[in-house]
Amino acid sequence: MYKVFVNHVPIILSTEKNIGDSYRSISIKDADLPNLIDEIRDGKLTHLNLFHKKHNKLLKHFKKQLKTIVAGGGLVFNERSEALFIHRKGLWDLPKGKAEKQESIEETAIREVEEETGVHDLKIIQPLETTYHVLKRNGKYRLKETFWFEMNTDFKGALKPQKEESIDKAVWKNFEQSQKALQNSYSNIKLLFPNEYLLGFEANAENE
């Protein structure tokens, strides 16, 4: 199963025709993605399941209709186990960006973290979940496929948010601060954090 986010609404890509009564289920081969995405963005559709009996065909059919932008990014921790966040357009996010030609996706992820935050001496620990979301460029929908990596660093210098990318803050956040930031973040970003962060997020949401 995959989740492709349109704003905060996930389009489910699955091998099951029926995943719940609240879902509109459509064969992914027959789906008119631009129109369905319009419905989601207009608030007319909140539960969508696109299915195919073969799991390895799901993304293939999705990508036939939407051009893919490949990106890399990092969930970075320092020596105090603080997570590195950026603040852009009113939401907390993690540093990421589009892959350039002739570089590996790992090189992309490290370069983007450095450019967007000013942090150096990064070391990749392990790959994390790949996330998918839909954006609009030049009047057409695109699929952004972001490869994420857990990283650590002993960098102690000043953080430098990349203003030309509309980033107004780059900050380290401890566990509690990270949980609060995730309440004002993107749904796909929450997929990258360990369960204890998400449990805290859910508990905080219930108490509001």
Q: 186: domain CATH number?
A: 3.90.79.10
The reported pTM is 0.90
Greater pLDDT, 143 or 208: 143
C-alpha separations of 8 from 158, 170, 188, 191 in Å: 32, 23, 8, 12
Looking at the fold, whether 79 and 128 belong to one and the same domain comes out as: yes
User: Where does a domain end: 65, 91, 113?
Assistant: 65
Looking at the fold, whether 117 and 167 belong to one and the same domain comes out as: yes
Query: CA-CA distance, 142 to 136, in Å (whole number)?
Result: 6
Is there a contact between 201 and 181 (Cβ–Cβ < 8 Å)? no
Looking at the fold, whether 22 and 96 belong to one and the same domain comes out as: no
Looking at the fold, whether 75 and 145 belong to one and the same domain comes out as: yes
| pLDDT for residue 48 is more than 50 | yes
Query: CA-CA distance, 48 to 37, in Å (whole number)?
Result: 10
Looking at the fold, whether 84 and 156 belong to one and the same domain comes out as: yes
Q: Per the structure, how many domains does the chain have?
A: 2
Partnered with residue 104 across adjacent β-strands are: none
Strand 140-153 relative to strand 131-137, pairing:
antiparallel
Structure confidence at residue 32 as a pLDDT band (50, 70, 90) = very high
Query: CA-CA distance, 6 to 100, in Å (whole number)?
Result: 25
Average pLDDT of the segment spanning 14-32: 96
Residue 203 has what pLDDT?
43
Average pLDDT of the segment spanning 186-200: 84
Residue 95 has what pLDDT?
98
Looking at the fold, whether 82 and 180 belong to one and the same domain comes out as: yes
Looking at the fold, whether 22 and 115 belong to one and the same domain comes out as: no
Looking at the fold, whether 78 and 100 belong to one and the same domain comes out as: yes
Looking at the fold, whether 19 and 86 belong to one and the same domain comes out as: no
Looking at the fold, whether 52 and 105 belong to one and the same domain comes out as: no
Residue 59 has what pLDDT?
96
Looking at the fold, whether 112 and 191 belong to one and the same domain comes out as: yes
Question: Comparing 18-22, 75-79, 192-196, which segment has the lowest mean pLDDT?
Answer: 192-196
Which residues form the domain of 58?
2-65
Looking at the fold, whether 47 and 111 belong to one and the same domain comes out as: no
Does residue 153 sit in helix, strand or coil?
strand
